[in-house]
């Protein structure tokens, strides 16, 4: 049996681990609450924009804000994968890349990566990508304009991201970006009869089509930011889960070590007691 001093040292170090995992768990849950709040705020903003846009639309075609642009649209689809920045994301990034590769054809698709981990995974598999962006460290005012510039060059864009379902469940999801905008818009739509905004009842500056283009770009940006935030939410939830499990394991180990320590102290006391009794017996016999 190990000596109590050695076990006591282990109890102390595992105690530090218990505290650390508890702190990380707390940070992850705080971040989750913050992001959830931001997603709600941004949704309200999107809803207000969508209301104006839906009153302006003359048809259901989403033009990615390029109706007034002369740039040639590439005859390819863009795949955007949203992954974690570091390697603490578990296996969900690998799952995400495997899902993407099921439909990937290098002649028909270009890949844009968000998050260093995804770029590393693709490089390891020898798959090329046109651009890599770092996962934003902040959770507010994410600038997605450079990504939207790429989106506008392509016919269609599919985004592969981690979806936050609950604290314990995260999944990989694929969505067509214009569908993401429409889906978010549909959620905000009410059954109220809509007014129509036309140049007969509204003054537009610079022009109605420029305003529609701008609104489409804005909503694309918000939808893209929401997808990135959703991914971050899933990553924090995954980290929270990992920290919860580590915290639980550390607490169990701490319990085991304490039990071992008590046993060791007890064994030592028993040994001393035995020695004293034996000593007493011997002294009685000799007397």
Partner 1 sequence: MAVRQDASTGELVDDGDKNTPQLEPDMMQIKVYSPYKVYFDDQAYSITAVNATGPFDILKGHHRFLTLLIPCELIIQTKNGEEKIKISHGIMYVKEDRVTVFLDV
Token representation of residue 191: 């059954």
Query: Binding marks (x or -) toward partner 1, 217..246, rule CB under 8 A?
Result: xx--xx--x---------------------
What does the H/E/C string look like for 73-86? CEEEEEEEEECCCC
Does the footprint of partner 1 cover residue 167 (CB under 8 A)?
Answer: no
Out of 24, 90, 204, 249, name the contact with partner 1 by CB under 8 A: 204
Nearest-angstrom CA–CA distance, 125 and 256: 43
Does the footprint of partner 1 cover residue 48 (CB under 8 A)?
Answer: yes
Residues in contact with partner 1, counted by CB under 8 A, come to a total of: 26
Does the footprint of partner 1 cover residue 197 (CB under 8 A)?
Answer: yes
Minimum CB separation of residue 239 from partner 1 in Å reads 23
Out of 71, 72, 193, 206, name the contact with partner 1 by CB under 8 A: 206
Cα end-to-end distance, the chain, whole Å: 36
**Chain position carrying tokens 């981690």:** 162
Nearest-angstrom CA–CA distance, 59 and 33: 38
Q: Are 258 and 26 in contact (CB under 8 A)?
A: no
Does the footprint of partner 1 cover residue 201 (CB under 8 A)?
Answer: yes
Residues in 246-275 at the binding interface with partner 1, rule: CB under 8 A? none
Closest to partner 1 by CB, 44 vs 286, is: 44
Q: Are 139 and 34 in contact (CB under 8 A)?
A: yes
What's the Cα-to-Cα distance from 282 to each of 270, 273, 276, 277, rounded to whole Å? 18, 14, 10, 9
Does the footprint of partner 1 cover residue 137 (CB under 8 A)?
Answer: no
Does the footprint of partner 1 cover residue 162 (CB under 8 A)?
Answer: no
Q: Which residues bind partner 1 (CB under 8 A)?
A: 38, 41-42, 45-46, 48-49, 52, 140-141, 197, 201-206, 210-211, 214-215, 217-218, 221-222, 225
């Amino acid at each position: 049996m190990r000596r109590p001093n050695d076990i006591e040292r282990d109890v102390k170090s595992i105690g530090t681990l218990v505290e650390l995992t508890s702190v990380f768990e707390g940070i992850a849950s705080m971040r989750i609450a913050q992001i959830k709040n931001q997603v709600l705020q941004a949704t309200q903003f999107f809803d207000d924009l969508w209301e104006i846009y839906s009153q302006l639309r003359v048809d259901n075609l989403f033009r990615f804000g390029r109706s007034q642009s002369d740039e040639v649209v590439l005859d390819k689809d863009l795949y955007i994968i949203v992954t974690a920045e570091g390697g603490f994301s578990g296996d969900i990034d690998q799952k995400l890349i495997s899902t993407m590769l099921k439909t990937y054809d290098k002649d028909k698709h270009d890949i844009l990566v968000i998050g260093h981990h995804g770029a590393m995974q693709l490089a390891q598999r020898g798959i090329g990508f046109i651009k890599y962006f770092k996962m934003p460290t902040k959770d507010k005012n994410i600038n997605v304009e450079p990504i939207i510039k790429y989106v506008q060059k392509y016919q269609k864009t599919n985004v592969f991201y981690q979806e936050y379902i609950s604290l314990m469940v995260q999944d990989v999801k694929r969505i067509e970006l214009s569908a993401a905008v429409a889906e978010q818009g549909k959620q905000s739509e009410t059954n109220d009869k809509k007014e129509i905004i036309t140049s007969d009842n509204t003054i537009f500056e610079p022009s109605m089509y420029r305003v529609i283009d701008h609104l489409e770009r804005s909503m694309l940006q918000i939808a893209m930011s929401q997808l990135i935030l959703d991914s971050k939410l899933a990553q924090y939830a995954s980290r929270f889960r990992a920290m919860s499990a580590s915290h639980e394991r550390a607490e169990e180990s701490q319990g085991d070590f304490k039990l071992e320590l008590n046993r060791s102290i007890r064994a030592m006391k028993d040994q001393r007691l035995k020695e004293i009794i034996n000593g007493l017996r011997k002294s009685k016999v000799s007397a």
